[in-house]
Amino acid sequence: MVVNPHREEAAHAGDLVARELEAEGIQVCRSFESDRDEPIEAAIVLGGDGTILHAAALTHGTGIPLLGINLGHVGFLAEAEREDVRTAVQRLVAGDYTVEERNTLEVLVKQTDGTTVGGWALNEATVERDNLRRTVEIVLEVDGKPVSTFACDGVVISTATGSTAHAFSAGGPILWPDVDALLFVPLAAHALFARPLVVGPRSYFALEVTERSESAAQVVLDGSRSIDVARGGRVEVRRGRHPVKLARMSDAPFAERLVRKFSLPINGWRGPVQDG
């Protein structure tokens, strides 16, 4: 069980979940270490999307499915809302759920001194300027071929899952979760050709911070982990090897989730035209 430590409501919900599980004879683990605590059937996550991303980082590579219960605001990754806590736990105990895999990103930063640093993300990897008063100049490369050079505040490279997060707020398109693709969205680019790009699962993006760039950069992974990139450094982003598994209890289409989470107006909809 992973609980947002900054929300009192999450702590109370965590106590409720623990009591429900222990009453069913199920052992509850509150402090997870992958080399000690496996096997675990599932992780219940109490909080918002940030807490779910934290749980994904804790369990990365283990194959443990995450059941998110939204105690935050949007909660796009969550499967249940706060009023559904008991029902969600009962269905988890009964095995009444399916498992959905979400693609991840694999990130490799190559420094100017020849060293490399690796990382991964479920939602997105952003390459951002480390000096807020200057722009960062990058060369964009796709599959080993240069595409464009421009100065910008940064860029977002996301999975389909992350298309409704940072990439969406930057004007990128929404990708359905089953779209096997990588999305590139520039942030305030000083260029005529600086538009979102979508590439297939076997393609990869690479970004080089030019030597003449006004600012160095940093790679931020899912908004919580960062890697510094000096001028002349290179960032490669491709489809990850380890997907994140989400426990699902509803077969509602993604469009329905989109309307509900973003409170989209659908007044006037009459449904498909019926023949005859």
Q: Which residues are catalytic?
A: 49
Dist. CA 204–CA 200, nearest whole Å: 8
For 127-147, the three-class secondary structure string (H helix, E strand, C coil) is: EEECCCCCCEEEEEEECCEEE
